[in-house]
Amino acid sequence: MEVTSLKAPHWIAGYEVNGKIKGRKTKNSVRFGKVNFYVFTPDDVDENALKTVVGLAERGELEILNPEEVVPHIAAKLNSSLNLISLLNKIEKYICALIGAEAASILVHKGDHLVFLVTEGGASGKIESIPVPMNSIAGTIFLEERTLIFNDLSKEKRHFKGVDKAAEFTTKNIMGAPIWAGKNKIGVIEVLNKEEGFSEEDAKVLTLFAKLIGKKLFNTLENERFRNLIKEIVLSIASAIDKRDQYTHEHSRNVARISKLLGRKLNLSDKELEELEVAAILHDVGKIGIPDSILLKPGKLTKEEFEYIKNHTIIGAEILSHLKHVTENMVLGTLEHHERCDGSGYPHGKQNGQISLFGRIIAVADVYDALTAKRVYKEGWSKEKVLQILKEDAENGKFDPKIVSALEELLKEGAL
């Protein structure tokens, strides 16, 4: 059945039919019938909704919401983001699509300067540590508490070029607005590089967008700080356990980092990534129950001693199972990180279909770090050599091939 309303769903930015464009083009499009629909993000597409409006679009009768009408819908959608990186990614995608800009960034106020909140793109790790002075464009927007447009940067002395150099990016024009959380001014949102320059209409859209995302951004920042504090406390406990064994210092931190990267490659949700990270941090927590006489023994372990060492997985799972907010997946990750898909692992000799995803991910991360790390008794093996070993073991049924493939992708990308 076809709708009688002439208004398009808020996630449709425009459409093209018979060579004519209504609304505006975006980087993302989907073909439906004779119509090419331009959408803000691919995740927004609802095929059932397209079925109801395609007829109107084919006749050119489907009206597109203007950007100011779309902003409240996007702000409501952003409220579902629990993770800071996820939220920043969505903010950047939506505001760039709304305004037609190449890039966007958010800066927060810190003491006498501003600092960037960076997602995981090319600038990640390059500009977060750069203090942006208050006499910069972003600083001016923050201090003057209003949206400003800078379409010609050639003679603009306030343009802080240090960020462009660090990020290997060329800024041609900028528009920015202050971000408020209630009565608290917390930072600035900037959009960069619109081909035809920014307009007053764009300024209205950005001002509204900044106003509506402020509280969500502030709450997410506070939650992120609290979660990071908890993770640091957990990591301190895990590191203290690692330090009992002089050979495994920093092992838990490394396994957690690798596991989270693997989980992201496997498209785990923000919640699952948080749980995986904590499970990986604590994967060896059960070693607290292993006597030093066995854990730190310099020579070869006896069969009985090795059987005792295996218990650290069961002890760790038992410890986690008594904690209130620990999920079943987190317990299983700790219990199963020494299980192998062919049934040759421990403590229970589980096989592929019986081992949780967390257990399979942490298993690969654990072995990768153990073999590449330099220890007192050995040099670290090369990444290439360890990857080859893991690939062979995956082919022989020990590890999940999908997870080893994800590890290989990370190595090719230089993430490890």
390-416: pLDDT as tens digits: 999 999 999 999 999 999 999 999 988
Q: What are the counts of helices (DSSP H) followed by strands (DSSP E) for the chain?
A: 14, 10
Position 26 scores a pLDDT of 87
Q: Which of 257, 264, 261 is nearest to 278 (CA)?
A: 257
* Contacts for 194 with CB less than 8 Å, ≥ 6 apart: 99, 100, 101, 102, 173, 175, 202
3-state DSSP assignment of residue 189: strand
Q: Are residues 196 and 318 in the same domain?
A: no
Reported as a single tens digit per residue, the pLDDT across 209-222 is 999 988 989 888 88
Check residue 287 and give its pLDDT. Answer: 86
Count of other CB atoms within 10 angstroms of residue 11: 22
**Are residues 305 and 340 both part of a single domain?**
yes
269 shares its domain with 403: yes
163 occurs within a structural domain:
yes
**Which CATH number belongs to the domain containing residue 324 in this structure?**
1.10.3210.10
Determine the Cα–Cα distance for residues 33 and 30; give it in Å rounded to an integer: 10
CA distance 379 to 371: 9
Query: In the chain, how many domains are there?
Result: 3
> Which structural domain range is residue 42 located in?
1-55
28, two tokens: 């993302």
Q: What sign for the dihedral angle of Cα 91, 92, 93, 99?
A: positive
Q: What is the pLDDT of residue 243?
A: 64
The reply to whether 235 falls in a domain is no
In this structure, are 48 and 187 located in the same domain?
Answer: no
Is 207 inside a domain boundary? yes
Whether 399 and 252 map to the same domain: the answer is yes
Is 155 assigned a catalytic role? Answer: no
Nearest-angstrom CA–CA distance, 298 and 90: 52
Q: What pLDDT, on the 0 to 100 scale, is given for residue 1?
A: 43
Say if residues 108 and 115 touch (Cβ distance below 8 Å). Answer: yes
Determine the pLDDT at residue 376: 60
Model confidence, pTM: 0.64
- Of 11, 26, 55, the last residue of a domain is 55
Quick one: 51 and 73 in the same domain?
Answer: no
Parts of the chain with a pLDDT under 50: 1-4, 120
**63 found inside a domain:** no
225 within a domain of the structure (yes/no): no
Same domain for 40 and 152, yes or no, is: no
Segments of 2-133 assigned E as strands: 12-17, 20-23, 28-32, 35-39, 103-110, 113-117, 132-133
| Co-location of 140 and 78 in the same domain | yes
Q: Is residue 167 situated within a structural domain?
A: yes
148-189 per-position pLDDT tens digit: 999 988 888 898 888 888 777 888 999 999 999 988 899 999
Residues 163 and 37 in one domain: no
Task: Name the domain boundary from 215, 234, 251.
Answer: 215
Torsion of Cα atoms, 221 then 225 then 228 then 232, to 10°: 170
Whichever domain contains 185, its CATH number is 3.30.450.40
Burial class (CB in 10 A: 0-12, 13-18, 19+), 324: exposed
Q: Are residues 257 and 404 in the same domain?
A: yes
Residues 76 and 20 in one domain: no
- Together in a domain, 81 and 39: no
Specify the residue for token string 């799972």: 317
Q: How many of the other CB atoms lie within 10 Å of CB of 210? A: 24
Q: Which two tokens stand for residue 204?
A: 């209205």
- Can you tell me the distance from the alpha carbon of 372 to that of 13, in angstroms, rounded to the nearest whole number? 48
Catalytic one of 93, 216, 260, 287: 287
Determine, yes or no, domain membership for 157. yes
**Residue 125 confidence (pLDDT):** 55
The per-residue pLDDT for 24 is 86
Q: Does 127 map to a domain?
A: yes
Longest Cα–Cα distance of the chain, Å, equals 81
